[in-house]
Amino acid sequence: MTAQLLSGKPIAEAIKAEVAAEVASLGYRPGLAVVRVGEDPASAVYVGSKVKTTEELGMHSEHIHLPADASHDGVLSIVKELNARDDIDGILVQLPLPEQVRDREILEEIDPAKDVDGFHPMNVGRLSQGYDALVPCTPAGVIQILKRSGLEIAGRHAVVVGRSNIVGKPMAMLLLQENATVTICHSRTRDLPAITQQADILIAAIGRPGFIRGEHIGDGATVVDVGINNVSDQDFASELFSEGELPKRIAAIEKRGFTLVGDVNPKEAVERAAYFTPVPGGVGLLTVAMLMRNTLEAAKARRGR
Ligand code: NDP
């Protein structure tokens, strides 16, 4: 079997086009504020893409960049100011934050109505109770890929590997809401392959490059790879990529020092799975699209339409 690749690009583009069309009909501009602290290079790239996309879709965007030594209270007071502003509908504090800034307290200060990352306990609680909530963008994007690719979720056995608050747990809750039968695995799970092999839908959100191998995947499964890892070792890359793909990856390692790899071994996954989301080009593209949708939804809920 050779898996069909599920590209995130057309789905992300469709969601963004829907958001842009709705924004154009609103009569006001939803506003998204992104707070970044310090100089983490990956955060700079993510925030840049969020700001650019917000503007492209006709929304108002603000980027507040604080130095790496910003105090906890300084970040907290920025969040409070943004909470109080009527023109700001969405607030996103880019993680990770420097050590002196206590991220849980910052995230809990964000007005739940403006919590477009869906990390506030109020939204987490509402999601787990099955009520309308702002839900975390990456797992929400996974649901969109599955649904818009015409893949049935209800009644299927979904196995989520990873239980972080950002991906694994909300992913499991969203799949449950879609009526999947859900199993959550983590680092203390015994005999992981025996469980993951049973999955109709296998979601990998682990943070270890190529960790999910052929032995973890049941024939004909749908495998969704949430992982984003940098791999710089060429020998390791040759274990992950087919002959067709490998030269491109080696060239990337030689040019910029690394290639992007998910949590699934793609060479082995395509031999077992029926559907597979590639890295890059799969789930990752959906995250910003879902952030845009959350900003629009937050604006409509706050402003009554
Ligand atoms: P975390 O490190 O917070 O969580 C990793 C999870 O994987 C933990 O629950 C951990 O278990 C589990 N795990 C680790 N090792 C094993 C193992 N050997 N067997 C089974 N489970 C294991 O990572 P995140 O959830 O934040 O991110 C996961 C991946 O998704 C990363 O690659 C990240 O880069 C990517 N990501 C992609 C995004 C996007 O596409 N836009 C957004 C966010 C993340 P335990 O809890 O027991 O420690």
- List, for residues 210-234, the tens digit of each pLDDT value: 999 999 999 999 999 999 999 999 9
Boundaries of CATH 3.40.50.720 in the chain? 136-227+262-283
Distance 249 CA to ligand 1 centre (A): 23
Is CATH 3.40.1010.10 correct for 136-227+262-283?
no
Please tell me the predicted confidence (pLDDT) of residue 1.
72
Q: What is the DSSP string of 125-187?
A: HHHHTT------HHHHHHHHHHHHTT---TT-EEEEE---TTTHHHHHHHHHHTT-EEEEE-T
* Ligand 1 environment, Cβ below 6 A: 138, 161-164, 166-168, 185-189, 192, 205-208, 226-229, 263, 283-284, 287
Distance 111 CA to ligand 1 centre (A): 27
- List, for residues 152-209, the tens digit of each pLDDT value: 999 999 999 999 999 999 999 999 999 999 999 999 999 999 999 999 999 999 999 9
- List, for residues 40-51, the tens digit of each pLDDT value: 999 999 999 999
Enzyme catalytic residues: 50, 94, 117
Mean pLDDT of the chain: 97
Boundaries of CATH 3.40.50.10860 in the chain? 27-111
User: What pTM value is reported for the model?
Assistant: 0.97
Joined together, the tokens standing for residue 197 give 């092999």
**pLDDT tier at 149, thresholds 50, 70, 90:** very high
- List, for residues 75-126, the tens digit of each pLDDT value: 999 999 999 999 999 999 999 999 999 999 999 999 999 999 999 999 999 9
- Atom index in ligand 1 nearest the CA of residue 167 equals 25
Please tell me the predicted confidence (pLDDT) of residue 39.
95
Distance 190 CA to ligand 1 centre (A): 17
Residue nearest to atom 5 of ligand 1 (CA): 206
Before 67, cis peptide (omega within 30)? Answer: no
- Closest to 161 (Cα-Cα) out of 121, 180, 131, 188: 188
Determine the residue of 143, 183, 187 to mutate for testing ligand 1's pocket, defined as the one with the most ligand atoms within 8 A of the Cβ atom. 187
Topology (CATH) of 27-111:
Rossmann fold (3.40.50)
